[in-house]
């Protein structure tokens, strides 16, 4: 039974709050911190299949993210078709080859050295799914009318954060990939003019023996300032 109340004619519901237990709260905060600390961006994927239902649950989590004026200005395209993945890989590698050879600054190339990335992107074919996230700066009505969205980058970034956390929680791995420029994704996925590519996220399981760079994360003390 919904307990709807109206404020200036708009429907509101009582917020559902589980009883709060301080000890349990400590434990859950710590457990999530440990779990998320083990998340890594993976570039070496297994071809092992993953049921689409798991991906769909992760996407539902992503869709629960907050967004400007609750406009939910995101679109997720889930690509599993090998032929389409190959096309995406070929187009991405064409752009990445150009970037690594002619577009990225020396400083940028230097900063990427510890990751040992290059223009070759085999994971775009080996990962069982490529989730291509689009941002909608406006909604397009069937009659061609436009309705503006707000804080689109923040909103879609939050949804992607939720998605990456859900993927990790489900025991899968992902990569936040940004082949640049990404316009080819609009063409290959036949997206409408109000959608722009935001992130390309390969999802699956790591290849046997997959390595990740030995990087360190900043300590919270380095990035947190308390004002009591
Ligand atoms: N898009 C390129 C380069 C790249 C850029 C950043 I910033 C990274 O953190 C990693 C890679 C690529 O995917 O290789």
Which residue has the CA at smallest separation from atom 8 of ligand 1?
112
Q: In this predicted model, which residue has the larger pLDDT, 185 or 2?
A: 185
- For ligand 1, pick from 44, 115, 178, 200 the residue to mutate: most ligand atoms within 8 Å of CB: 178
- The pLDDT assigned to 206 comes to 98
Range 93-99 average pLDDT: 97
Average pLDDT, the chain: 97
The closest-lying atom of ligand 1 relative to the alpha carbon of residue 177 is: 13
Residue 195: both structure tokens together: 């959608």
Nearest residue by C-alpha to atom 1 in ligand 1 = 179
CA atoms of 4 and 167, how far apart (whole Å): 34
What superfamily does domain 41-208 belong to in CATH?
NADH Oxidase (3.40.109.10)
Quote the ligand 1 centre to 104 CA distance (angstroms): 10
- CA torsion, ordered 211, 216, 220, 224, to nearest 10 deg: -120
| pLDDT tens profile 182-223 | 999 999 999 999 999 999 999 999 999 999 999 999 999 999
Number of C-beta neighbours around residue 66 at 10 A: 12
Q: How much is the pTM?
A: 0.97
């Amino acid at each position: 039974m919904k307990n709807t109340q109206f404020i200036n004619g708009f429907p509101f519901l009582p917020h559902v709050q589980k009883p709060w237990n301080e000890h349990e709260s400590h434990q859950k905060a710590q457990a999530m911190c440990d779990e998320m600390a083990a998340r890594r961006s993976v570039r070496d994927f297994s071809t092992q299949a993953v049921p689409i239902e798991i991906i769909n649950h992760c996407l539902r989590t992503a869709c629960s993210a907050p967004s400007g004026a609750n406009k939910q200005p995101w679109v997720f395209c889930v690509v599993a078709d090998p032929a389409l993945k190959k096309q995406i890989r070929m187009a991405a590698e064409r752009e990445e080859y150009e970037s690594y050879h002619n577009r990225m600054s020396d400083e940028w190339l230097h900063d990427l050295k510890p990751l040992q990335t290059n223009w070759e992107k085999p994971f775009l074919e080996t990962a069982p799914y490529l989730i291509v996230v689009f941002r909608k700066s406006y909604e397009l009505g069937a009659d061609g009318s436009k309705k503006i969205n707000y804080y689109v980058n923040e909103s879609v970034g939050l949804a992607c954060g939720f998605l990456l956390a859900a993927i990790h929680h489900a025991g899968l791995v992902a990569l936040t990939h940004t082949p640049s420029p990404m316009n080819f994704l609009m063409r290959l996925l036949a997206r409408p003019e109000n959608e722009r590519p935001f992130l390309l996220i390969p999802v699956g399981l790591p290849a046997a023996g997959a390595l990740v760079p030995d990087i360190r994360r900043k300590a919270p003390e380095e990035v947190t300032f308390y004002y009591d």
